[in-house]
Each structure stands twice: as C-alpha cells, then as structure tokens.
Amino acid sequence: MTPKPPTPEAFLTTEEVLEYLQVNLRTVYRLIKTKRIPAVRVGRQWRFKKSDIDAWLEGRGAQSESPAASPTFPTRRACVLVVDDEVSIRDLLSKTLAPGYDVATAIDAAGALLMLRANSDAYDLMISDLNMPGMDGIALVGEVKQIRADLPIIIITGFSTERSAREALNLGVDGYLIKPFSGRQVLAAAAKALGAPAA
C-alpha cells in the first residue's frame, strides 16, 4: 500500500494572523521579537505556521487560572508616525495621540523614510507636515506609497492652497488638517484614517 503523502503545513499571512488573534501589528511583531511565535520572512512579508499559532494559544490558555478562560493579549494600540520639522507641533501631536496610540516621530521626510524602510509594517498611520525643509510632504507621500501603498496618511499644513490640497488628495491621503487644529480634530482624523470610530 502506497503511503499517503504528508499534508502540507498550513501557513498564515500577517493579515490572517491579525484577524485570527484579533491583535494589531505591533503585538504580532512583539511576539516575533520575543520568539513567542516563530515566523518566516518571505521578501517583505512574514509567514506563520498555523500549528505554531495554535500551540501558542494553547500555552496561553494553560497559563490561565481558569482552564476555560480565553487567552489574553496586550492592549491593542496602533502606532502613529508623526513627521514635522517644528518641535512644538511634534510635541503637540505626540501628547494628543499618546493616550490612545503609540507615537514615533521624525524631524523631516528623510528621517521618516529611513524609519519606514527599516520596518514599514510597524506603523499604522503617518501624520506629516506639508511644508518642510528638503523634501516636502507631497514628495514624502509619493515615496511612502512606493514603500507601503496601504499606509494611511494625514497631511497637516499652515499654508494650505487649493493646488496642494488637490495634489495630496490625488496621491490618496486619508486626511488633510489645516493649522491651527484642535486635539479633537486630530483624534477624529486619526480614527477615520484607521477606520475606527472617533472617541
């Protein structure tokens, strides 16, 4: 009798793992970094063995005091990359966003691109100034879309023109805020860009 060939191991994409575990990207990367779930890098994407994910889930359940309790996960927090050459604006946005999001900052487009090229999946949203020394916000959006086309982007500016607004919208930005703006406006724009209800 011919032996039956082994069933291929089922692999999950990052998106499938996010849905399966109901956690965000930062949580998944934290699990990879701490070697709690093995992952294989394929190009710019991660792949996960479903059996490894299930084993991790079982382990989390076994650690619980109640055998029937569901596994617990770290709080879900999206990470926002703030790009602005003005310290006061970076600080304002960081303080406004910090209660609900993890925040990373860059002082210019070049710094933001370095961070995104190093690990674009670590960020869930980018908020960028339009007018910055060197590369401006419009050019930055174009570069970012080459690195990660699905990253939501909000443009902020104190010098809005119809042309700049049209350019930004044509590039597919998810929000456009004109200074001065309120903290409520920032949070509402961030929630909308991330597809979440505003607080």
The DSSP bridge partners found for residue 49 are: 11
The region, left, alpha or beta by phi > 0 then psi within -120 to 50, assigned to residue 14 is alpha
73: which DSSP letter? -
Nearest alpha carbon to residue 89 among 34, 154, 144, 163: 154
Beta-carbon contacts of 147 under 8 Å, excluding residues fewer than 6 positions away, are 113, 116, 117, 120
The answer to whether 98 and 79 have CB atoms below 8 angstroms apart is no
The answer to whether 80 and 103 have CB atoms below 8 angstroms apart is yes
Q: State the number of CA atoms in the 13 A half-sphere of 17 facing the CB.
A: 28
Distance, in Å, from the CA atom of 52 to the CA atom of 42, rounded to the nearest integer, reads: 17
The structure tokens listed for 115 are: 């961070």
Helix axes 183-193, 87-97, angle to 10 degrees: 70
Q: How far is CA 168 from each of CA 23, 128, 174, 192, rounded to the nearest angstrom? A: 31, 11, 9, 17
**pLDDT at position 196:** 62
The answer to whether 113 and 143 have CB atoms below 8 angstroms apart is yes
Beta-carbon contacts of 78 under 8 Å, excluding residues fewer than 6 positions away, are 24, 26, 101, 102, 124, 125, 194
Going residue by residue through the chain (199 aa), what tens digit of pLDDT does each one get? 554 444 446 777 777 877 777 776 667 766 776 666 777 776 667 777 777 777 767 765 544 444 444 444 444 578 999 999 999 999 999 999 999 899 999 999 999 999 999 998 889 999 999 889 899 888 999 999 999 988 999 999 876 666 766 776 777 788 888 888 899 999 999 998 887 654 4
Nearest alpha carbon to residue 53 among 6, 21, 15: 21
Tell the burial category of 160 from Cβ atoms under 10 Å away from its Cβ (0-12, 13-18, 19+). middle
**pLDDT at position 67:** 42
The answer to whether 140 and 122 have CB atoms below 8 angstroms apart is no
